[in-house]
Structures are given as structure tokens and as C-alpha cells.
Structure 1
Amino acid sequence: MYAIVDIETTGGHASANGITEVAILVHDGQEVIKQFKTLINPLKPIPIYVQALTGIDDEMVSTAPKFQDIAHKIYELLHDKVFVAHNVNFDFSFLHFHLAAAGFNLQTKKLCTVRLSRKIIPGLASYSLGRLCKEVGIEIQDRHRALGDALATAKLFSMLIEQDKDGHISKTLNQRSREQSLPPHLPKEDMDKLPSVPGIYYFHNSKSKVIYVGKAKNIRKRVASHFANNKPGRQKQDFLREIHHITFQECGTELMSLILEAVEIKRLWPAYNRSLKRFEYAYALYSFEDQNGYMRLVIDRKKKFSKPHYTFNGIAEGYNLIKSLIAGFNLCPKLCFVQRNNDPCVPIGEESCKGACEQLESVELYNKRVIMALNSLSSVLPGFLLIDEGRTFEEKSCLLIENGQFFGMGYITSDLAQADISLVKKYLTPYPENDYIRNMILNAALRFPHKVRDIYGN
């Protein structure tokens, strides 16, 4: 037995909106044998645009029963039947949420006439209820009212049963099939193509624009988890309605998928990604010559299109590095903007500063040490290859940290793992980096030292 359902509501998600009308038609697989309909007082104003769409206004529902007063009746009609609706997860999310608030736990199998229509009557321009019914010759009386839309859905469902030569309905109802949990516009074929390997996946909207990027150790399992619950909040419901297609990229390791996710979120700026959008370098190490010709080192805000010697997410990290260069190469704290007052340079008395700030040391000698300090970054900062599993047995994944920064990643053959770094680079795709990506790679190198090849021979 089937319960064909349509509801009218005050808004698009159950957790903050009420039901204004419900219609339930009991269908025995051939025809409707029982029907129930009622207006419901949502206990909140109905928005003007909803009134215009449905024709249901506040006055009409003012004397209607509250949902909790008829919850037992609705539950009795639904709990032992297959729940059928056009975009079933919308109607089900509302009734499940409000029944739960009234003390009833609705657990039923579901059928979506949108998804079934795409399979049984393929090739139509639109599968919205109005356009679909017009295409197949079903007249809708009282459009956007619960009973009118439910009766049209019942006629459509009878037609689908009659034309279902390939058994799509029975396959969908199979307990092992989770198709009804999928978003209404997402083809099951997209899910069937997903591999059980590490990688990233993209959710696309109707215009093929990427609206979400995710990473996974197991792409198929992770994507399925997005649809495992039907939370009644606006964000989840809007998210599910926008998903029309899924694409993916396989990665050799979970670490590579984490990096690629961060890169792609920054590149595509998907609407439904909240995290990883703000990871950018805030500070950088720059050098310049002052009016007297002395080279100055400075930690400053990272500037677009600039070429810093090194970048930092936090200013403290930058000053720790510049202080180590001052100590290691007898640089002047004043010329490096570490000592900013007008007092005499503190290290002059200790002879660690040679007096460049007072022009007691020649430009040539001081600048030579600054250049040596900058050149030393290649030895102070880490440089290594992180070699790990690839996508196939024949290849290895490879990530390159050079001068303390992430260069890129890709796939190489085993014999290239010990090759000259300039050759390995040809097989790697350069990627933008940030503190988040860099720290993930550095932490992985510490955890798995046997996977690391030091490119400086240290």
C-alpha cells in the first residue's frame, strides 16, 4: 500500500516553518482507495508570496486544527505504507519533523515520482509537477493546493506503475537501494560511477557550476553520507535541492585529497563550502635597499603579485625567522625593523651588529651578509619529497616542499623517486600553497620519515 502525499507550507524547510495544508491519498497499486485532506493552523503568519502562490491565507487557517491535534491521524495513515510524493524528501522532511515534535517517529520506505519519472519517462525537458503532467496529459485541478497536487501525483504514479517495464519501482524499494535518499535532481548513475578510493568530489548545480567541494578517503562512502540524513534545516534542504550532478578526481592518498580540496575551494569558491576559504598568507619576508644603499629586511603584510623571500600565516613566525637571521649573520636589528626606537642599536656594544645602522660598516660588507642570510634560507627551511602510494601499483604519489614551501604534487614511477629534483619537477603540477597545506605536509613528514627524501642531502 502507498500513501501519496502533498503538503503546503509557510516556507522551504521544516525546522523553521509550519504546514498549512496536507493531503494523503491511500493507493493500492492500481487506484486511490481513500483520501484525507485538511487545512492546518501553522501558528505563524503565512508570507505574502506563499499566499499568492497557494491561495491559502491567515484567515483560512485561523480556525483549522493545529498539527499536534491531527498528528495521530496523519501517523496512522502513513506509518505502514510507502510514502510517495513529488520530490519526496521535501514532504517527508516536514511531516517527519512535525510528527516527531508531536511524539510520533515516522519510519517508512519512500518513493519519489520525480526520480521515477526520469527513469520511466526519460527525455522530458522538465520534471516539475506542472510541466510533467502537461507533457503526459494529466490535468491538475487546484494547482499548488495539497489535494489538487496529490490527485495529480496519484494519476502520475498510476501511469508510472503501468509503464514500469524494467521494474524500477521494485528496485527502488529494495532495502539495499538507497536511491530515495538522493537529492531529487541527482541521477543515480552519478552515484554509481563514484569509486571507493581517496580523492575529491564536486557537487554541481543545474548550470554545472560547482557549489561544493569535498575530500574523502573513500569517495563513494563519503558522498553517500551527505544524503544519509534528511535534516529539516534550511541550509541542508537548499543544498540538496541544488545538487544536479557529481564529478570527482581520484588521488593516491588521503593527504593529496586534503591538499586538492583546499586548493579547489580557493579556486572555485563554492557557495556551500564554509571552511578553508580564508587560508591565505598574511605576512611575508621582503628585502629592499634604503637611500644609503643598505639592504633592509622587513616582515610586512603579504602583497598581491609581490615576490617575497618567504611567507607566513602569523607575524610571530615571521619575526622568529628574521631574529634567527640577525643572530646567525650579525645583521642589524634596526635595519631589519626589529628594534624600532631611536635609541642606539642594542647589539653594537656587543659587536654582533657591525654598525651599519650608524654607517660605521660599509654597504658592501653589510649587504654581503644580508645576501648570505637570504641564501641560507634554503638550508634553514626544509626541502624534501614525500613519496607515497599512487593511484595504481605502477606509480607513486609525490609531494615537493622546496625552501620550506609547497611546490606541487603529482605522480611518478618508482625509478624517478631518486632522480634529480629538476627531473622530478617535470612530473609535478604546481599548486598555490598556504599555512594549512604546508603544515599538513610537514606533519606527515614527521609521522612517516621513511617516506621522505631530503632534496638538500642533509
Structure 2
Amino acid sequence: MEKNNLSAFPAYAIIDIETTGLSPRSEKITEIAIIIHDGQKEIERYSTLLNPERKISYRITQITGINNKMVDEAPKFYEVAKKIVELTENKIVVGHNVRFDYGFIRNEFMSLGYDYRRRSLDTIKLARKLIPGQPSYGLGKLCKALKIENPDRHRAMGDAMATTALFEMLLAIDQHPEQINLNGVQSDLSKSLVKDLPPKAGVYYFYNNSNELIYVGKSVNIHDRVLSHLNNNLHKKAIEMKSAIADVKYEITGSELIALLLESSEIKKHQPLYNRAQRRTFFNYGLYSFYDEQGYLNLKVMRTISELNPIYTYSSVQEGKEHIERLCEEYKLCQKLCGLYDNAGPCFYFQLNKCQGACRGEEAVEDYNNRVSSALNNFHFEKQNFFVIDKGRNENELGIVKVENGKYCGFGYCGENEMDLGMMHDNVKTYSDNKEVRQLIKSFVRRKKCKILEF
């Protein structure tokens, strides 16, 4: 969460779970409790045991008190999934070591083909910030030190109630919310240097004490984005990077698209230390389409096949599935027919009234296929030779991105009174074409209303 204070959100979902073990990939949830809070008082609460569809070990029963007999008749996760979605929608998920609870819940939803995402707040990190110096920040010892009662320790509702009491105490301590930064402290970078950064679109460069380039980033607001880096205390790598920053330089692009393209080029050119994941992107996975026996048009993300041209390419299966998930949301497509749901019965979106029943044969084939075709039409350049015209670095110029024969050529700038084709071609600085930049352009043109000029 970036520079947000406790009073900025209307509602919270304070969550605790009990599980069959510690790994969200291999273990399951046995109990869940959710307390809805508006920042002043509790509004609603919900809890249930869950059948994990596996045996609970004696060791876990000794800790939680939950045994196999207690969960035999309990609902399975998919039976309460819709309730969890509805309860937590548009709320901040709060938990003590929230990554544990949130990770398990996300994994359960992933098994249903649903991409469950919520913003989260960890009361451990918040307590360290607001009440420093405690000997322990574990829930049990911290509650004991703060005289918060929890007679039902290691049960979901008992721990959720204790977390709620702790959260309310932290809210009370938060007398000046505008000064509370949930991410931690800033690095030693000169405040005057940050203050002078422009609130404009462009690319920024971080240098260390040896004047070595260690990171390249882009943003529609350079000033705010750099501040978010300096306030990021959530991950070890982020803390390590911000402590190494000695100087910041930037290049204003005006255009968000040009910032994306320049960032991609600069990372590949300079190979900065903290851009490791972006140094070279391989698109080893593709989106393919096929018709099933009923005539429905199906989509599937899988490893690229040399004999077939994919509709779209991705650097990972997860990236592809997240993209298809967004298409399902936007075009009301069926998760089963998009390779996102393998369980028996209708897809999870059908239960949420987001799928119109293709997985049950209830929707006309032609109607469904027309929506899939509409979704796929957005993957291609509609034209082969064109300029994308976007904002310039100042009010007197425009940014231009050139695509010729379906390939990226580069970008440049023209004065508003110089927008003839000859001048535009001359003002383009050449950059390398690759799948990544083509997809950046496709994606940007698809989601933004840009002016396109054919040639």
C-alpha cells in the first residue's frame, strides 16, 4: 500500500484462518472468520468450519482443537467462496501476519479459477510502527502485553476478535493519520532532490554512490513514483535498493506510451542491477483458440508451438491466465472454456452471475462466440502503417510512435504546427522492434483513446 493512512478507507475485513499446515500450496483451510469493521466499530461477522477434504493431523488438532469429526459435515471452500467474495469486496483485508491468511485464501480461489485480489494491511507491521519496543509482536504475546483477552486462542474467530481489538487500539493511537506511512521510513535521499522531481510522465534513473545505474523505472508521475520507492518497506529487495540510492535523474516523455517504450529500451541497454526480472523477457507461452464438440470457441494458454502462430504471447503461464481472467470479466466469458476452471459442474463465474452459462450449454453458441471474437479482435494492430499520437513534453508539442509493416520503428516529437507526414518520419528516433514493445503498443492503444494517423 502506497502512502495511505488508516482513516482513508471506509471498511476493513479482519480475517483469521486455521489450516491443516503451513504451506498454502499443499495444505487447506479448516476454519475461517471474518469481521467487517468500518474503522470505528464492528459491522458484521462471519465464521465457519471448512471441510479440507483431507485428514487433519494429530499435531494440528493439538494446536487448534479442530479434529476430523468436527469438519466432516462442514461446507467445502467452494460452497462458501461466494460469501467470502461478497463480504470482502471493496474492503482492506486486515490480519496479523496477513500474508499467511491472504495467501491461503488466494490459493483456494485459484483452485476455483478465480483471481481473488484485495488490498491488505498487516497488524504486525502496523504495531511495529505505532507501538515500537515490544519484546514480541506475535499475536499471543502482544495481546498479553496490551491486556487484550483471547480465551479462544488458535481458533479463527477467537484470533480474529483479538486482531480486531488490537486494530482498534492501533486506530486509537493513530492521532495524526496524515503522518502515518504504512510502508515504513524513507531512505536518506535528499528531500530537496525529491521535491524537485516533476509530477509528469517519464522515465527515472537511480544511481548509487559510485554513480552506477542500479534501476530504471517509468511513471505518469515521476515525483510520486520515486516517493513510493523511498516509502516501500515491505520487501527485502525494495529496502536494499532504496538504501543504495544516492542520486536520481529523469527524462520527461509527456507520453505514458513513450515512457513505457523508453523504459524497456533502457533496461535492455544498461542491464541495471535491480531490474533483473525485466532485463530480458522470453515469450514462451501463447494464447490459442479452438472449437469444442459443441461448437463453442475455446481459449487456452500453453507453451508456444512452433507450428502454430499464437494469438498473443506471454512470459509466463500466470501472466497469460491473469490476462484471460480480465477478458472473462470484461466480455463475460466462461472460465471453463478459457482454461481457467477444471472442476466438475459450472464454472465459478456462473455462480457469481458473471458467466451466461456456456459451460452448461445454456447460452447460444453464436452469441458466446461473438463475444470471444470481440475479445480477440483487440489483440491485433488494426492497421499496419501508422503513427500513435500522444502527449508531448510540453503543451506545444506532441509525442509520436511509429509502426510500419506491423513493426515498431521508434518514437519522437513534433511541434503541433509540424504535424505533416514527412516531418513526422524525420523526427522519429529509431529503436529496436521486439514482441515486448509491440505488445506494449497494442495494450496501450487498446486501453487508451489515442489518435491514430495512417500513412
Same topology, TM > 0.5: no
Please state which band the TM-score falls in when normalised by the shorter chain.
0.3 to 0.5
Q: Whose Rg is larger? A: 1
- After TM superposition, the score normalised by the length of structure 1 is 0.41
- After TM superposition, the score normalised by the length of structure 2 is 0.41
